[in-house]
């Protein structure tokens, strides 16, 4: 399983799972101390309800454009 950093934008509790973090290149390549600090803050914010309060606008969305684009070439016209 490989994922991108915003893959779990409506399910932030997924980032508490070390397997999810290892399979997200942005988190896997970030300083472990910084990631641990962020995960602990996320854990507290989820437990207190603060995350849901601050990001309630995300929970009502069906999609989120985070700017990723896939550019392809069909090979025609060569």
Written as one string, the DSSP assignment of 38-63 is HHHHHHHHHHHTHHHHHTHHHHT-S-
Residue 71 within any structural domain of the chain:
no
Binned at pLDDT 50, 70 and 90, residue 25 comes out as confident
pLDDT at 5: 65
List CB contacts of 40: < 8 A, sequence separation 6 or more: none
Residue 76 within any structural domain of the chain:
no
pLDDT at 4: 63
Residue 31 structural domain:
5-59
pTM above 0.75, yes or no: no
Residue 68 within any structural domain of the chain:
no
- Residue 24, number of CB atoms within 10 A of its CB: 22
Residue 14 within any structural domain of the chain:
yes
Residue 12 within any structural domain of the chain:
yes
- Whether residue 20 contacts residue 3, with contact meaning beta carbons closer than 8 Å, is answered with yes
Query: What gap in Å lies between CA 75 and CA 73, rounded to an integer?
Result: 6
pLDDT single digits (tens) 33-65 = 999 999 999 999 999 999 999 988 888 888 878
Domain count, the chain: 1
């Amino acid at each position: 399983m490989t994922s991108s950093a915003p893959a779990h934008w409506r399910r932030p509790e997924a980032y508490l799972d070390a397997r999810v973090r290892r399979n997200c290149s942005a988190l896997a390549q970030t300083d472990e101390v910084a990631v641990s600090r962020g995960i602990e803050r996320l854990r507290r914010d989820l437990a207190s309800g603060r995350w849901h309060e601050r990001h309630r606008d995300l929970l009502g969305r069906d999609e989120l454009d985070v700017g990723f684009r896939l550019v392809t070439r069909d090979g025609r016209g060569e």
